[in-house]
Structure 1
Amino acid sequence: MVSAAAYAYLGSSALARGDLTLQTSGGPAAHPRFFTGFLASPAATATGLLAVAEVARSRYYRPLDPVSLDPVVTAGSDRLRFESFSGCCGVYARLDVLPAGIDGEIVAHGTTNVDVNVPLQRALARVGPADPMHLAVGPDELAVTTFDGPVVERKVPLPTRWLRGFAEAQVLTSRFDPRAELAVADARALLQRMSAGDRSVLWAVPAGRTLRVTSRPGPGAVCLPGAGRLAAIKPFLRHATRLRVYGPAITAGSGPVASTWELSNPALRLSLTLSPEPYRGFSGEGAVLEALAADEAADDAELISALLSWDPKIDVDALAVASGLDAGRVRDALTQLGTAGRVGFDVAEAGYFHRTLPYTVEGAARMNPRLVAARALAESGAASLNGVVRSGDNTYHVRDGESCTCPWWAKHRGGRGPCKHALAVRMVRAEVPA
């Protein structure tokens, strides 16, 4: 399913005489203004923005003509976060401009699209380390009230899998832990050895001060699925002080999984999260299905949503006290909100942050074919409490609420979330009083 994303800007973003103005579209207002002030590290910020823009216009699997989905920016209480997703839905990029990186005023909170056009990208590429830069995210009030030229409008295809991918990436990364940290010299040596065209699934194993790349998983390893997809992060090496890598726990028998690769300095963090395999977009990973299928979590999410603030990190314990829910239910509610783009997850701080993408939990559920099919099975009476599910002319058996005799389970073995039959059985069982 594909809809159209319409971007309407009061003008084109531009960098002129040290003034970087990023035009905005949508969010809390038609053209919100979030920030005005100076950047502590102009060249590094410019390089990070270019990386986010490169991911937005790239398709890493079966490359086609680039179609850029504009990055989004979220203004929190003390930082700016720029996010994008690749056209193939397999790479998620984020640049965090931390408090040490900005000297100015965040005048409003929220999430909006930003115009990072080709002329602006060329200008950003010329920013030198000694060049001062003033940043304005959004037009100033004078521009809003007096602008009488043509509004810059663009429409691009917006696949529902792109929106689902945003949600899946947040849920998957919430299960990550730090796995390795390298000094920038070791990080440079590691990343420069990686070929831009490498699409193989490899594993990075800690070896002294660096990581050794191997073809087999093992305890302590981090999956490196398609090393060529890290190309966008390499120019930031000259501004970074360290590389940190995040991922789930790995065993000798693990299959490919997602991972996050983050370059940082005290003012900025630039990260790329890679899907488990180059041909797999995040949209089909199924990490959000259980959260979307839980009615209790949906009710809790509505309550938690009303309590969210724009602090850098969402405090689960404080939300538990304010809502009267236990911490586990708060986390489930945040997972629900993550599926709706209402929160993102920061692996560096191991916590959620508030942001608002333009869709809802209900919308996310409707965009997921497996979940829609599961609800249809449950509501039609095709799924029973004992795990027997009639689907078309076939009958399948769900065991332990997870494994199933269907072809989907036989192929993926739970690696891409539950099948529609297991989801349907869980829905039916959830309706039975304890």
Structure 2
Amino acid sequence: MTDAGTTEAVYRYAFESVIDRDGIRLATTRTDASFFSGFVEHPKVLADALLVLARISRTRYYVPPGMLAAVLRAADPVVTVAPDSLRFEAFSACCGVYARLDVTSDGMEVGSRTSGVTNVDVNPPLRAALAALREHEPLHLVVTSDAMEVSTMDATVREEKVTLPNRWVRGFAETQVALSFMSEQLRLDAASARRMIRSLPSSSPTRSLVWVVPTSGTQVRLATRAASDGAGVPVAGPERLRAIDPLLRHATSLRGYGSHSVASAWVVDVPGGRFTLCLSPDKSRGFSGEGGLLEKLLVDGPGRSHDAQLLDSSLSAGTYLPPTGDGLGLETAQFDAAVAVLATGGRLGYDLESAAYFHRPLPLDTIDFSRIEEAHPRLVAARALVSEGAVTGTGDPFLVRSGDEVYQVRRRPDATFSCTCAWYARHASSRGPCKHILAARLQGGVR
């Protein structure tokens, strides 16, 4: 109650009101608002792909030494209903494998559709119904803000919304960074893809890495390094890529993507859609700790959260955002910082097919964009070092006092930075900058 004796009520709307060629759809405060209802054109493909997603989310590909494999409750797909697709996303239990199924418009017969996002469980009853689906049997799908319902000839199974793990939010933030740097390196036909996947080892040492190197046509070989001309795609923890094997009977092609990192992505093209698998640079490394957003968040000032808020409000679930922000009226550094803020909240992904970001407004409580840095402890620590006056020097080098030690941060000729701390000695720049480099860049105004 307020002083005036009135009662304050907060209304939450599950989706945006829309006026388009299909008519008017008004959001209400009902919690079971419908996002999608329709039949799938290739039901067996969808069934097999959802089973692969569910299996990945229940799998821990790496168990740290001295730790027993935890039996985790699976946190199954985040479902995005977009104007042109249905998108299902999941992480492995160790967060080192990201999987996504995109069902495109030609892969579904839409009864009704409104952009929105939810996350649901895939429990044994649904897995059993999907596994029992026979070829050419229909599959009807309903997605609401609170559930997903799948109907086959034999059963109707409803899966309720579940709590989204915070580690998944951090994983979403980092996978979009990794994917945004990747480009297609090779393409295999279905037969070559099956041979390559089935030649991978079923287990490997912790830091194992193989390269898939093209030879001639659509043929490839497994090697210990890239080809002499740099061609090839790395596969860290190669047994993780075997997760796509059940989908290869539907595949029309398999595409491999790589970048300067040894993270990789693999896209299985199937009738009516595609399945993407992204592997972290090492099976002992989950995506949630990669630090790929830190440099973009060095832009200071209240304008950063304001830009992020405006950008967020201009998008609806699943819509695409050009990777350069052309036409938005923001400088490159401002746009990158706004993207980093949204990505930190898990609200942006990256699509290799479109080479663009897509909006993913996760069903979480309202995000305070002004406090987004709290999700990045290294950046919080760096700002504390600057405020304490711990950074001195002219930049050649910067001297950063941290605890009882003083570290030297130098800027190299190629504009990258090095530090004399133990963290940098172990990781260099492979997991984002250390807190001392961040502090030096903040102090020196080097963005």
Matched, 1:216 2:225: yes
Match of 1:40 in 2: 41
| Letter paired with 2:101 | L
Task: Report how far residue 300 of structure 1 moved.
Answer: 3.1
How many matched pairs?
388
Provide closer, same or farther for how the CA distance between residues 271 and 316 of structure 1 changes in structure 2, counting only shifts above 3 A. closer
| Letter paired with 1:259 | S
Task: Report how far residue 277 of structure 1 moved.
Answer: 0.6
Task: Report how far residue 371 of structure 1 moved.
Answer: 2.0
| Letter paired with 1:285 | E
1:125-161 per-position Cα deviation (integer Å, ceiling 9, x unaligned): 11122111111112899x9xxxxxxx99897793x44
Percent of aligned positions with the same letter in both sequences? 43
Provide closer, same or farther for how the CA distance between residues 31 and 196 of structure 1 changes in structure 2, counting only shifts above 3 A. farther
Task: Report how far residue 415 of structure 1 moved.
Answer: 1.3
Provide closer, same or farther for how the CA distance between residues 106 and 315 of structure 1 changes in structure 2, counting only shifts above 3 A. farther
Provide closer, same or farther for how the CA distance between residues 367 and 325 of structure 1 changes in structure 2, counting only shifts above 3 A. closer
Out of 347, 352, 355, the position equivalent to 1:350 is 355
| Letter paired with 2:98 | Y
| Letter paired with 1:220 | A
Contact in 2 for aligned 1:320/1:326 (Cα 8 Å): no
Contact in 1 for aligned 2:44/2:135 (Cα 8 Å): yes
Contact in 2 for aligned 1:40/1:267 (Cα 8 Å): yes
1:30-85 per-position Cα deviation (integer Å, ceiling 9, x unaligned): 44421001100000001111111111111110143242113211111121110011
Partner secondary structure for residue 384 of structure 1: strand
TM-score under structure 2 length normalisation: 0.80
Contact in 1 for aligned 2:170/2:344 (Cα 8 Å): yes
What CA RMSD, in Å, does the superposition of the two structures yield over aligned residues? 2.8
Out of 224, 227, 232, the position equivalent to 2:238 is 227
Out of 326, 335, 339, the position equivalent to 1:330 is 335
Match of 2:251 in 1: 240
Q: How does 1:169-318 map to 2 (within 5 A)?
A: 169-199=175-205, 200-208=208-216, 209-218=218-227, 219-249=230-260, 257-295=262-300, 297-310=304-317, 312-315=319-322
Matched, 1:430 2:445: yes
Contact in 2 for aligned 1:396/1:404 (Cα 8 Å): yes
Question: Radius of gyration: which is bigger?
Answer: 2
CA–CA distance in structure 1, aligned partners of residues 92 and 31 of structure 2 = 25
| Greater relative contact order (CA < 8 Å, ≥ 6 in sequence) | 1
Tell me which moved more, 41-50 or 227-236.
Answer: 227-236
| Letter paired with 1:421 | H
Contact in 2 for aligned 1:74/1:82 (Cα 8 Å): yes
Contact in 1 for aligned 2:35/2:114 (Cα 8 Å): yes
CA–CA distance in structure 1, aligned partners of residues 159 and 186 of structure 2 = 44
| Letter paired with 1:201 | L
Which sections of structure 2, spanning at least 5 residues, go unmatched? 1-28, 64-68, 150-157
Contact in 2 for aligned 1:77/1:106 (Cα 8 Å): no
Tell me which moved more, 298-307 or 53-62.
Answer: 298-307
Task: Report how far residue 362 of structure 1 moved.
Answer: 5.3
Provide closer, same or farther for how the CA distance between residues 328 and 41 of structure 1 changes in structure 2, counting only shifts above 3 A. farther
Provide closer, same or farther for how the CA distance between residues 152 and 257 of structure 1 changes in structure 2, counting only shifts above 3 A. closer
